[in-house]
Amino acid sequence: MTQDKSEFDVIVLGTGPAGSTVARKAAESGHSVAIVESREFGGTCALRGCNPKKIYVNAASIVDQVRRADGQLIVNKGVDIDWPSLLKFKNSFTEPIATTSEKSFQDAGIATFHGQAEFAGETEILLGTQRLSANRIVVATGAIPVALSFPGTQWVIDSDAFFELDHLPERLAFIGGGYISMEFAHVAARAGSSVTVIDHHECVLTGFDPDLVKLLQVHSERHGIQFQLNSRATSVECESNGSKVVRLENGDAIECDMVIHGAGRVPNISNLQLDIARVHYGVDGIAVDEFMRSVSNPHVFAAGDCAARTEPMLTPAANEDARIIVKNLFESQPRARPIYGQIPAVVFTIPAIAAVGMSEQQARESGRQLDVRFKDTSTSGSVRKTGATVAGFKLIIDKDTDLLLGAHLLGPAAEETINLFALAMRFDLTATDLKSTLFAFPTFAADVRKMI
């Protein structure tokens, strides 16, 4: 389809999971669709997020498993990450997406546009000097790194740049102790770099169970990851030899070769001129109703990380947003509402830490009678069979109903096992139901029965 047309049934901003789904489904139903992307077509998850990250984590996990199995399961003759080869392998996944994604939209009859979109009215989008209009506009522009406010931010790279490094420096400092920093820190440590994680909280990964996070932090330190906690970076300086110095508010200084931004992400909406479109928004994103429609402009819908909702910035939530928007987009009276259920969250450290449902604190604040089961399982048979590592779990059960309120896992296969708990919580299976289920043995899933 040519780009001469300027009026459409729907304009979609963003080509990530949510935007792509809405655009394709709308086109399949016979509507005229335009999709706009300010960067490469394909979105963050496929090009700069979940999928390429997992490739790097897989490499580090293989190296980790070989090294900890040395002298027990195998004899390690020397296994290392070759960073240029890893980058090339990652690119074999991302480059085809960047080059073929736009054509796939065009083949589906969707008009594609490049550039930074701005609202020019309630139903109009401006791309430079080009004006597009549609009775429905879907904002799915994702999230971007939060702006850092200290001097020397020009010496700090973001996760996008980290993915494109053709070699890994010897000394790395990560600002922030969230998903990005901890995942990359574990990869870099297995690749042989000296790593420091800086965070202003008492522990990293504040959204996860603190007892399990403590186990993970100790394990991380054993693998050469250092932590500067209760600390804030006040500046980054570049020395004449190219090395960097991160200065902290407590007076400490961290010397390194590279500083990486891992201090969180915010909705990518600041350049959209939402006020012109009468679209209400806040620091959490575009304000939407239960139908994923703007509370102030019924022509606009929002999905994924740029929509203000209580669910976390995770791909499954964005996919559910898109499913609902597809149903409601052209209805005079929208009816469909998202059903998120309990969405599992995973940090792909080595090993992974995972959670679904309530934290222990949230459960206690709810006033329920609780059965909280926490155990360090680092020396359990299932874990020891893989070689030395760290593992543990915490389950939160409602004593009155026997329902699972929360599940928190750390250890080998935690990223897969957490889905069993999510399934149980989605369909109100009790702890007794889970315990009475016979799983294949020996597997990590079979250990679920031992937890309950």
Looking up tokens 């200290």, which residue turns up? 150
Which CATH class for the 7-145+266-328 domain? alpha beta
CA 58 vs CA 53, 62, 349: distances in Å: 9, 6, 10
Instruction: Reply yes or no on whether the pLDDT at 300 is more than 90.
Output: yes
Residue 158's pLDDT band, with cuts at 50, 70 and 90, is very high
> What pLDDT, on the 0 to 100 scale, is given for residue 1?
42
pLDDT in tens, 179-207: 999 999 999 999 999 999 999 999 999 99
7-145+266-328 and 153-263 have identical folds: yes
8 A C-beta contact, residue 146 and residue 43? no
Which has the closest alpha carbon to 419: 343, 317, 318?
343
> What pLDDT, on the 0 to 100 scale, is given for residue 59?
97
Distance, in Å, from the CA atom of 2 to the CA atom of 338, rounded to the nearest integer, reads 34
pLDDT in tens, 323-370: 999 999 999 999 999 999 899 999 999 999 999 999 999 999 999 999
pLDDT in tens, 405-423: 999 999 999 999 999 999 9
Half-sphere exposure of 159 (CA within 13 A, CB side): 28
CA angle 182, 185, 188 (to 5 degrees): 155
Three-state DSSP class for residue 235: strand
Where in the chain are the domains?
7-145+266-328, 153-263, 351-451
> What pLDDT, on the 0 to 100 scale, is given for residue 3?
57
Amino acid identity for residue 333 in this structure: Q
8 A C-beta contact, residue 242 and residue 259? no
Q: 194-198 and 171-175 as β-strands: parallel, antiparallel, unpaired?
A: parallel
Which H helix or E strand runs over 13? strand 7-13
CA angle 325, 179, 242 (to 5 degrees): 125
| Exposed / middle / buried, residue 256 (Cβ in 10 Å: 0-12, 13-18, 19+) | buried
Looking up tokens 């079979």, which residue turns up? 446
Which has the closest alpha carbon to 68: 58, 83, 79, 57?
79
Instruction: Reply yes or no on whether the pLDDT at 4 is more than 70.
Output: no
Instruction: Reply yes or no on whether the pLDDT at 441 is more than 90.
Output: yes
Which H helix or E strand runs over 261? strand 258-261
Residue 2's pLDDT band, with cuts at 50, 70 and 90, is very low
Architecture of the domain whose range is 351-451 = 2-Layer Sandwich (3.30)
Residue 377's pLDDT band, with cuts at 50, 70 and 90, is very high
> What pLDDT, on the 0 to 100 scale, is given for residue 258?
98
If one counts every other C-beta atom within 10 angstroms of the C-beta of residue 415, the result is 19
Helices then strands, each counted (H, E), the chain: 13, 25
Instruction: Reply yes or no on whether the pLDDT at 425 is more than 90.
Output: yes
> What pLDDT, on the 0 to 100 scale, is given for residue 71?
85
Which CATH class for the 153-263 domain? alpha beta
Structure tokens at 338: 């998202």
8 A C-beta contact, residue 131 and residue 125? yes
Distance, in Å, from the CA atom of 11 to the CA atom of 133, rounded to the nearest integer, reads 8
173 Cα distance to chain centroid: 20
- Give the torsion through C-alpha atoms of 100, 102, 107, 108, to 10 deg: 120
Instruction: Reply yes or no on whether the pLDDT at 5 is more than 90.
Output: no
> Which residues is 287 bridged to in the sheet?
308
Q: Which residue has the higher pLDDT, 99 or 212?
A: 212
User: Max Cα separation, the chain?
Assistant: 67
8 A C-beta contact, residue 285 and residue 313? no
Structure tokens at 33: 């669709």
| Exposed / middle / buried, residue 5 (Cβ in 10 Å: 0-12, 13-18, 19+) | exposed
> Which residues is 316 bridged to in the sheet?
none
8 A C-beta contact, residue 185 and residue 201? no
Mean of all residue pLDDT scores within the chain: 95
> What pLDDT, on the 0 to 100 scale, is given for residue 77?
83
Looking up tokens 């508010």, which residue turns up? 249
Instruction: Reply yes or no on whether the pLDDT at 39 is more than 50.
Output: yes
Structure tokens at 57: 């984590």
Average pLDDT over residues 272-299: 98
pLDDT in tens, 107-150: 999 999 999 999 999 999 999 999 999 999 999 999 999 999 99
Distance, in Å, from the CA atom of 220 to the CA atom of 224, rounded to the nearest integer, reads 7
Q: Under 8 Å CB-to-CB from 133, ≥6 apart: which residues? A: 6, 7, 8, 11, 121, 123, 124, 125
Long-range contacts of 71-76 (CB under 8 A, 24+ apart): 72/387, 73/387
Which has the closest alpha carbon to 394: 368, 423, 367, 363?
363
